[in-house]
Chains A and B, each alone.
Chain A
C-alpha cells in the first residue's frame, strides 16, 4: 500500500521564517515536498480562523512559525501571535480537536537547517496520525455556514 502523504500548510512571517525557508533553499537542504508556505507580513497578522480554513481545505497539519521572541521585525507581533495561539489552543482543546496536528515554532532567517528539520519532523508526526477527516465528516452536515463564519 502506498504510504500516506500528509498535506502540511505553513503560515510564516515574511522576515524570519520565510527568509529561513529561502536560506534552506540557497543552502540546498532537502526536505519533504508536503509543505505549502503561505506568506504573511508577521505572525501577528495570522488570523487563527485561517488554520481551521486550512483544515477545511484538506490540510492534515498546520505549522505557524515566525521570528524568535524579541526578534520580531515589528517588535511585538510574534508575542501577540503567541498569546492568541495559547487561547486558540484552549478553544481547540475544548472542542476536542486533535492538537497534535498543530505546530508552533520560531525559525529565524539564519535557521535554514532548522526549517528543513521542522518540516521533516512535522511530516513524520502527521504521517503517523493519518489523514485528517473530521472536516470531511462535518462537511456532510453544513459546510457553507463555516465559510460564512470565516468571512470568505
Chain B
C-alpha cells in the first residue's frame, strides 16, 4: 500500500497570495494513498525540510510530493532531504504550484482548484515511482581542445599544466588564430606576436599536449567523461618528422600567386607554404587545390629539391581515433568580407579594406613590412577614414548585435596610423563608442585628444571614387545632422564579427546548441557561461560571442578550471533517468536503434544454456543513454520504458488530471 506525504509550501506569499495552501493540503489529505498532508511557510528552509524528514520517518512514507516551486529549481533540494530521511530520493516528486499556478493566475477558486489537481496528478505519479540509484561512469582524463587560437592555447596550457593530457586540433597549418594576425593590441599597444608566439611554442613543446594541425573534427560520439572523437588529419603532403623546415621547397615552388590567407588576401604565397614565419609547427604543407602536381600531375619540383626527402605526394587523409573526457570548443570567429557593403564599394575599390587587412598592413611582419601602403598603388595614405559598426548593430544587415571589439580596434587603428604618419588625417565615423574595460575609455580619449583623431558621430551613406580619391559621404549627427564629405586615400571598415561558416556543422557534431547568429550557446548566460548544454563540452573565446583577447583568455582559464574539476574525480555520477528494455516482449525490430540520437541502443543475443540462440533484442547502453525517451514512444511492442517517466507513471498522471472521472473507466 502506498503511503504518500504531501507538503504544500506557501513560498512566503508567492504561492499563498493566490492559492489557499491550507485548503490544498486539506483536499490532498483525502486523496487515496495520502496518509499525511501539511502546509508550511517555507518548505525549502531548514525547518521545512526537517518537517519532511520527520514525516517520512514517523509516518513510514513510501512517497513524497512537495507542492512548491518548479522542480527545475528545488527538485535536488527535496530529493536530498528525502534521501537524508532514509527514503530513496527518486520517490520524491514536485508539483509546480508557483511558476505554473500561483504566479500566472489571479486569486480565484479555480486557482486553488488547479493547485489541488496538480498535487493529485503528482500523488498518482509518485505511487508508481521506483527506487533508483545513480549510475557511476569512469572518466578518461584527457581533454580535447578544438581550435588553436589564443582561447584554445590558454585552455590547453592551463589543463596541461595541471597534469592532464590535452589533444589540440587546429584546422589551419599553424596554431595562433586571429591573434597571430594582429599588429598591436589595445589598450597597451604591445606587439601581438611578441606576447603570443612564446605561448604557441609552449604548446608545441609541452609534454602533456599532443598537437594536430591541419586537422579537423570528423565525428564525436559518447558522453561526458567518455567521448570518442575521430580527427581527420588532412594530408599535408609533407612528412613533418623528416622535414627540417629549411624552406627550399617554398623558394622553388613555381606557383607563387595564391592570395595569402594569413595576410587577409593582401599578399601572395606559394602552393607549398608555411602560413607565417613564426608558425607552429614551422613546417610547410601543400595546398592541393593550387599545386600543379595535384592539378596536372606534373611538376614535382619541391620533391626534387627537398634535401630531406620529406615531400610525400601520395600521403592521404588519416582518421585518428582518440578517447577524451572533456571537449573545449575554442574555434573563434570570422569577420564579414567583401560582398557585404556595395554602398561602401567594399570589394570594388581596392583601397576600401577591412580591419583585419589593416592589421596586416600595420604589422611589421605583414606584406608591406609595417609601412602603411594602399593596396591599389602602394602609395602611403595621407588621409584614412575608419568606419565603425560596419554591419554590426544593423538589423537591416542581419546583424543586430554589437561586435564588441570594433570600437577599441578602430581607435587603435587610427592611433597606429597617426603614429606612423604624424601629419596624416584620421577620421572615425561611429554610432556610439563602447569602450567598457580596464583602461579602454582612456585609450579612446587618448586617440581623440593626444593623437588628434577626428571622431564624427554619424553613419556613412556611401563611398565613391573621384580623381583617385575615395569620397566618403556621411552625416554628423552632433552638428544638426549636417552632411559631411571627406576625401580619403584609404577607408577601413570595422566589419562585423560573425561566427565561422562551419560553426553550425561543428555544433551538430558536438551536439551543442547555437544561437540565431550561429555562435555556440552557453548553458546559462550568467551562471554557467563556459559550459554548454551538453555535459562535458565547454566553450572558450569568440566562438560563443564576439570577445576581445582579455575576455577570451579569462574564459579559457575558466573553462580549463571546469575541465580540471571534472578530472579531479575518478568516477562520474549520472542521473539514472534512462531507458531500459523488457527482453520478454522485445521483438528485435530495432526501430529504436534508428531514432536514438546517442547511438545508445545495441543488439543483445538471448541464448539458452546450451548456446542456441533464442532471439536478438535491443539493449540500452546506460553510459550513452541520455534519457530523451524517443525510443519509448516509438517502440511498437511497448518493450522500452524510461525510468522517471515510465508508461505507468505518465498514464497514472493523465488519468488523474481532471475531476471528470465518472466515465473514465479507471
Q: Of all chain B residues, which has the CB nearest A25? A: B99
Is the pair B657, A136 in contact by a Cβ cutoff of 8 Å?
no
Cα(A15)–Cα(B534), bound, Å: 12
Is the pair B105, A30 in contact by a Cβ cutoff of 8 Å?
yes
Cα(A38)–Cα(B513), bound, Å: 25
Chain A residues closer than 8 Å to B665, beta-carbon distance: 56, 139, 143-144, 146-147
Is the pair A7, B658 in contact by a Cβ cutoff of 8 Å?
yes
Is the pair B664, A22 in contact by a Cβ cutoff of 8 Å?
no
Is the pair A45, B629 in contact by a Cβ cutoff of 8 Å?
yes
Chain A residues closer than 8 Å to B626, beta-carbon distance: 74
Cα(A53)–Cα(B72), bound, Å: 27
Task: Point out the residue from A31, A73, A80 that lies within 8 Å of B104, measured CB to CB.
Answer: A31
Q: Is A99 an interface residue (CB 8 A)?
A: no
Chain A residues closer than 8 Å to B110, beta-carbon distance: 5, 33
Q: Of all chain B residues, which has the CB nearest A31? A: B104
Task: Point out the residue from A26, A38, A47, A70 that lies within 8 Å of B632, measured CB to CB.
Answer: A47
Chain A residues closer than 8 Å to B100, beta-carbon distance: 21-22, 25, 37
Cα(A90)–Cα(B647), bound, Å: 24
Chain A residues closer than 8 Å to B508, beta-carbon distance: 75
Chain B residues closer than 8 Å to A14, beta-carbon distance: 72
Q: Is B98 an interface residue (CB 8 A)?
A: yes
Task: Point out the residue from B632, B645, B663 that lies within 8 Å of A136, measured CB to CB.
Answer: B663
Given contacts A54-B657, A59-B658, contact A45 B103 (CB under 8 A): no
Q: Is B114 an interface residue (CB 8 A)?
A: yes
| Segment 608-666 of B: residues with Cβ below 8 Å from A | 626-630, 632-634, 638, 642, 644-645, 647-648, 650-651, 653-655, 657-661, 663-666
Cα(A31)–Cα(B104), bound, Å: 6
B126 → chain A, closest Cβ, in Å? Answer: 13
Given contacts A116-B104, A143-B663, contact A46 B70 (CB under 8 A): no
Q: Is A94 an interface residue (CB 8 A)?
A: no
| Segment 138-152 of A: residues with Cβ below 8 Å from B | 139-140, 143-144, 146-147, 150-152
Cα(A30)–Cα(B110), bound, Å: 14
Interface code B89-102, partner A: CB below 8 Å = 1, 0 otherwise?
Answer: 00000001011110
Chain A residues closer than 8 Å to B215, beta-carbon distance: none
Interface code B219-230, partner A: CB below 8 Å = 1, 0 otherwise?
Answer: 000000000000
Cα(A135)–Cα(B663), bound, Å: 9
Q: Of all chain B residues, which has the CB nearest A36? A: B657
Task: Point out the residue from B597, B634, B664 that lies within 8 Å of A84, measured CB to CB.
Answer: B634
Q: Is B106 an interface residue (CB 8 A)?
A: yes
Q: Of all chain B residues, which has the CB nearest A115? A: B104
Task: Point out the residue from B72, B628, B647, B648 that lies within 8 Å of A42, measured CB to CB.
Answer: B628
Q: Find the residue from B105, B595, B633 having the highest chain A CB count within 10 A.
A: B633
Chain B residues closer than 8 Å to A143, beta-carbon distance: 663-665
Q: Is A105 an interface residue (CB 8 A)?
A: no
Chain A residues closer than 8 Å to B121, beta-carbon distance: 36, 38
Chain B residues closer than 8 Å to A61, beta-carbon distance: none
Cα(A56)–Cα(B654), bound, Å: 10
Cα(A74)–Cα(B642), bound, Å: 15
Q: Is B338 an interface residue (CB 8 A)?
A: no
B562 → chain A, closest Cβ, in Å? Answer: 20
Is the pair B99, A45 in contact by a Cβ cutoff of 8 Å?
no
Q: Is A106 an interface residue (CB 8 A)?
A: no
Is the pair A41, B629 in contact by a Cβ cutoff of 8 Å?
yes
Q: Of all chain B residues, which has the CB nearest A54? A: B654
Chain B residues closer than 8 Å to A18, beta-carbon distance: 70, 72
Given contacts A45-B642, A80-B595, A80-B634, contact A29 B104 (CB under 8 A): yes
Is the pair B664, A80 in contact by a Cβ cutoff of 8 Å?
no
A115 → chain B, closest Cβ, in Å? Answer: 9
Q: Is B359 an interface residue (CB 8 A)?
A: no
| Segment 67-102 of A: residues with Cβ below 8 Å from B | 70-71, 73-77, 80-81, 84
A134 → chain B, closest Cβ, in Å? Answer: 11
Q: Is B3 an interface residue (CB 8 A)?
A: no
Given contacts A30-B104, A38-B650, contact A22 B595 (CB under 8 A): no
Cα(A50)–Cα(B446), bound, Å: 68
| Segment 67-111 of B: residues with Cβ below 8 Å from A | 70-73, 96, 98-101, 103-106, 108, 110-111
Binding site for A on B (CB under 8 A): 70-73, 96, 98-101, 103-106, 108, 110-111, 113-114, 117-118, 121, 508, 511, 513, 533, 577, 595, 597-598, 626-630, 632-634, 638, 642, 644-645, 647-648, 650-651, 653-655, 657-661, 663-666
Can you name 13 A-B residue pairings with CB atoms under 8 Å? A22-B72, A22-B73, A22-B99, A25-B99, A25-B100, A30-B106, A44-B633, A53-B651, A57-B657, A73-B533, A143-B663, A150-B651, A151-B638
Additional A-B contacts beyond A22-B73, A57-B658 (11; CB < 8 A): A22-B96, A29-B104, A36-B118, A39-B71, A42-B628, A44-B629, A45-B628, A58-B664, A80-B633, A116-B104, A147-B666
